[in-house]
Structure 1
Amino acid sequence: MDANKVWFITGASKGLGLSLVKQLLAAGYKVAATSRNIDDLHRAVGPVDDFLPLAVDLKTESSVAAAITGTIEQFGQIDVVVNNAGYGLLGSLEELTDEEARENFDVNVFGTLNVIRQVMPHLRRQQSGHIFNISSIAGFSGSFPGWGIYCATKFAVEGFSESLANEVSDFGVNVTIVEPGYFRTEFLTANSLTVPRHQIDAYEAVRQSQTVHQQAINGNQQGDPEKAVAAIIQVASAPNPPLHLFLGQDAYDMAYAKMNAIQTDLETWKSLTVSTGFDMQPA
């Protein structure tokens, strides 16, 4: 592993982001990390050499630009970008307001795009770099009642990340979409998971999903965040890193369930699918 690399990590005051920061610093990397509140970073990480904490509003492009510039002024370059910031939103499509849905997109999708837009000129100039966009198994499979908007944000991240990978490969820049399953972080706590202000009791499956996630799954996730972070660091040093990095046995199993379901639909409806072209008359 090349400890001379400079990492830029968003959403780093807790969860996978914080674990990543701590492992990287322990390994001798230079790390710039963002949070909405810089005091949270100071408290979580403490005074450490080669660490640059940054207060950033990811929804404001000028704030993101200042963070990128500050990192380069401090460390001279940026080599690895981890778009980790985001939060969960659990509610049916009917009961979530336009404001609630758009806020989730503003952070999970447009915040990530702001970082990419600001960092790519630097990665292009140095003809190298690696962008990790933290998605979710919910960005690959949407079969979670009550998670529709959150899934939509992560599906969006997956879509533009696949396009980005093709856009930037000529510049020596790699892109990896990280798709974790359930990991034992603060993601399902009240500080990271938002629910609708106005709930509709008729959505029994959604209420059940909410109860299960907040009370049964929270704190009992099988995924070890320290191992997830170590996997990301390992992939950052791989000569041919994957575009899709699924993390966790549950993510692996759910990914195959989705692929099998798609294959079943394709083959069951193949005759109809391929019948929709123009009939080609022989010359």
Structure 2
Amino acid sequence: MENIRTWFITGASKGFGLSLVRQLLEAGQNVAATSRDLDALVAAVGRTAPNFLPLEVDLANEDSVGCALHQTNAAFKSIDVVINNAGYGIGGSIEELSDRETRDCFEINVFGTLNVIRTVMPYMRAQMSGHIINISSIAGIAATSGWAVYAATKFSVVGLSEVLAQDVAEFGVKVTVVAPGAFRTSFLNTDSINIAQHTIREYTTVHNAQELLLTKDGKQDGDPEKAAAAIIDVAFMENPPLYLLLGDDAFNRAMAKLERLKKEFLLNEELSKAMAYHG
């Protein structure tokens, strides 16, 4: 690994976040890691070191995020790579999920990400460098039945990342959005995924899709350690990609979505182009 950088990673007590923290610390990088539960984070990482700054952060609170980034910059004198990894899944039809359940998911998956970006950009603009890596999902590119609200949050992360990359390029800041498929993390555990408390039995397609996905817990094909290593490699690239698909399933779903989009767009090409104003 090349020069020492400072990494700020959210959702670091499990899954991709934990794998990233462990690999980066092993490589001698400076790591600030956040979690809602500081004790759980420290226990999960299993080590203390001068280059490790564990932080208890409420991502929905901009002041809490700002304080964490201030502590990171004070400790390591820069913030070079931000990985917005925190998030959770939510299953159910739009009708089944309450307004509160829906908003809570957006609060972490979308607004937590925005809080970090908004608060870290002054540091990166001052440095005229940095890399923001947002963890979305293949569900943010090619969604499946039963996960409409989750897909909406992850589509949001894809969209904001695309525009963010254009907006911050003049400051030397890079952006990558990561779309993983199924990896053998804790994502399908009850700690990481919520199912609508109110169910409507008529939604058989939705419920069957949920049940099928949940049966795959612990059987996913993807290795989270390989995913973490790939994300780290991308962060050290001189010209990192805007998109990073992780897993055969993610790649195949994305390519199939491209084909579907092309067919849908061309289906009404003549109508689409017949909108010119003729005064």
Using the size of structure 2 for normalisation, the TM-score is: 0.98
> Is 1:16 aligned with 2:32?
no
- Which residue identity lines up with residue 220 of structure 1 in the other structure? K
- Indicate the residue corresponding to 1:266 in structure 2: 265
- Indicate the residue corresponding to 1:102 in structure 2: 103
> Is 1:251 aligned with 2:255?
no
For residues 230-241 of structure 1, the aligned pairs below 5 Å read 230-241=229-240
Equivalent residues of 1:178, 1:245 under 8 A apart: yes
For residues 99-178 of structure 1, the aligned pairs below 5 Å read 99-142=100-143, 144-178=144-178
- Indicate the residue corresponding to 2:62 in structure 1: 61
> Is 1:85 aligned with 2:86?
yes
> Is 1:202 aligned with 2:230?
no
Secondary structure, aligned partner of 2:58: coil
Separation (CA, whole Å) in 2 of partners of 1:268 and 1:101: 33
* Structure 1 position 48, deviation (Å): 2.8
Which stretch shifts more, 182-191 or 267-276? 267-276
Separation (CA, whole Å) in 2 of partners of 1:85 and 1:66: 17
- Which residue identity lines up with residue 277 of structure 1 in the other structure? A
* Structure 1 position 213, deviation (Å): 1.5
* Structure 1 position 46, deviation (Å): 2.3
Aligned-residue CA RMSD (Å): 1.0
In structure 2, stretches of 5+ residues that fail to align are: none
Equivalent residues of 1:3, 1:27 under 8 A apart: no
- Which residue identity lines up with residue 135 of structure 2 in the other structure? I
For residues 66-77 of structure 1, the aligned pairs below 5 Å read 66-77=67-78
CA shift digits 1:41-72 (9 cap, x unpaired):
11011233210000000000110000000111
- Which residue identity lines up with residue 23 of structure 2 in the other structure? Q
- Which residue identity lines up with residue 45 of structure 1 in the other structure? V
Separation (CA, whole Å) in 2 of partners of 1:87 and 1:203: 22
- Which residue identity lines up with residue 169 of structure 2 in the other structure? S
- Which residue identity lines up with residue 183 of structure 1 in the other structure? F
- Which residue identity lines up with residue 117 of structure 1 in the other structure? R
Equivalent residues of 1:188, 1:218 under 8 A apart: yes
Using the size of structure 1 for normalisation, the TM-score is: 0.96
* Structure 1 position 279, deviation (Å): 3.8
Q: 1:157 to 1:172 in 2, by over 3 A?
A: same
Identity %: 54
- Which residue identity lines up with residue 155 of structure 1 in the other structure? F
Equivalent residues of 1:3, 1:28 under 8 A apart: no
CA shift digits 1:209-240 (9 cap, x unpaired):
1211112x111111111111110011011111
For residues 22-41 of structure 1, the aligned pairs below 5 Å read 22-41=22-41
Equivalent residues of 1:90, 1:147 under 8 A apart: yes
Separation (CA, whole Å) in 2 of partners of 1:214 and 1:263: 31
In structure 1, stretches of 5+ residues that fail to align are: none
* Structure 1 position 4, deviation (Å): 1.0
- Indicate the residue corresponding to 2:5 in structure 1: 5
Equivalent residues of 1:89, 1:104 under 8 A apart: yes
* Structure 1 position 278, deviation (Å): 2.0
Secondary structure, aligned partner of 1:133: strand
- Which residue identity lines up with residue 123 of structure 1 in the other structure? M
CA shift digits 1:216-275 (9 cap, x unpaired):
x11111111111111001101111100011111111100011110010112221111111
- Indicate the residue corresponding to 1:43 in structure 2: 43
Runs of 4+ in structure 1 deviating by more than 2 angstroms, as ranges, are none
